[in-house]
Structure 1
Amino acid sequence: MIISRSPLRISLGGGGTDLPSYYRDHEGFLVAAAIDKYVYLTLHETFVEDIIIKYSQMERVPTADEIEHPIIREALRMLEIRETNLELTSMADIPAGTGLGSSGSFTTALLKTLHAYRKNLVHPEELAEQACHIELDLLKDPIGKQDQYIAAYGGLTCFTFCSNGKVLADPLKVSTETLFDLEDNLLLFFTGYSRSASSILKEQDDESKKKSDDMLQNLHFVKDLGFRSRDALEKGDLYEFGSLMNVHWDFKKQRSGSMSNGRIDEWYALALRNGAVGGKLIGAGGGGFLMFYAEDKVRLRRAVTAAGLKEVRFRFDFEGTKIVVAS
Structure 2
Amino acid sequence: MIITKTPFRMSFFGGGTDYADYYKEHGGSVISTTFDKYCYVTVRHLPRFFDYTNQVSYSRIERVNSIDEIEHPAVREAMKYLNMRELQITYDADLPAKSGLGTSSSFAVGLLNAFHALKGQYADKMKLAKEAIYLERVLCNEDGGVQDQVAASFGGFNRINFSADGINVNPIVISREKKQLLNDNLMLFFTGFARFSSEIAKEQKGAMRDKQRELAEMKQLVDSAEAILTTKTADLNEFGKLLDYTWHLKRGITKSISNHALDQIYERAVKSGAVGGKLLGAGGGGFFVFYIEKDKQENLKKELGELLHIPFTFENEGSRVLYYRPEDFDA
TM-score, L = length of structure 1 = 0.94
In the alignment, the residues of structure 2 paired with residue 300 and residue 290 of structure 1 have an alpha-carbon distance, to the nearest angstrom, of 16
Report 1:1-327 matches (<5 A). 1-48=1-48, 50-81=53-84, 83-84=85-86, 86-164=87-165, 166-208=166-208, 211-212=209-210, 215-236=211-232, 237-295=235-293, 296-306=295-305, 308-327=306-325
Residue by residue over 1:144-193, the C-alpha shift from the partner in whole angstroms, topping out at 9 and shown as x without a partner, is 111100000000011100123x1000001111011100111110001123
Given that 1:14 and 1:227 are in contact with CA atoms closer than 8 Å, whether structure 2 keeps it comes out as no
Q: Distance in 2 between matches of 1:312 and 1:172?
A: 24
C-alpha distance in 2 between matches for 1:202 and 1:32? 22
Cα deviation, 1:74-114, whole Å, max 9, x if unaligned, reads 11122122x31x21000111111110000110000000000
- For residues 299 and 212 of structure 2, the distance between their equivalents in structure 1, rounded to whole angstroms, comes to 34
Residues 16-46 of structure 1: per-residue CA shift (max 9 Å, x gap): 1101111111110011100111111001233
How far apart in 2 are the matches of 1:317 and 1:106? 17
Which consecutive aligned stretches of 4+ in structure 1 deviate over 6 angstroms post-superposition?
none
What one-letter code is carried by the residue in structure 1 that aligns with 2:111? L
Letter in 2 for 1:229: A
CA distance in 2, matches of 1:261, 1:205: 19
Residue type of the partner of 2:146?
A: K
Task: State the distance in 2 between where 1:258 and 1:113 align.
Answer: 35
Q: Within 2, Cα distance between the matches of 1:283 and 1:181?
A: 23
- Secondary structure of 1:15 counterpart: coil
Question: Given that residues 34 and 151 in structure 1 are in contact (C-alpha distance below 8 angstroms), is that contact kept between their aligned partners in structure 2?
Answer: yes
Percent identical pairs in the alignment equals 39
1:190-212 alpha-carbon deviations (Å, 9 max, x no partner): 1123221111111121233xx32
Could you tell me whether the CA contact under 8 Å between 1:40 and 1:90 is conserved in 2?
yes
Gap change, CA 1:262 and 1:205, over 3 Å in 2: same
CA offsets, 1:110-163, max 9 Å, x none? 000001101111110010000000111222211111110000000001110012
Could you list the runs of 5+ residues in structure 1 that have no partner in the other structure? none
Change (3 A) 1:174 1:191: same
Which whole-Å CA distance do the structure 1 matches of 2:131 and 2:47 have between them?
A: 30
SS, match of residue 37 in structure 1: strand
Equivalent position of 2:328 in the other structure? none
Cα distance in 2 for partners of 1:99, 1:300 equals: 25
- Kept after mapping to 1: 8 A contact 2:12/2:30: yes
**Residue identity in the other structure for 2:117:** A
CA distance in 1: counterparts of 2:230 and 2:12, whole angstroms: 12
Structure 2 unaligned segments of length 5 or more: list them.
326-331
Q: Is the 8 A contact 1:294 1:300 kept in 2?
A: no
The alignment partner of 2:256 has SS state of coil
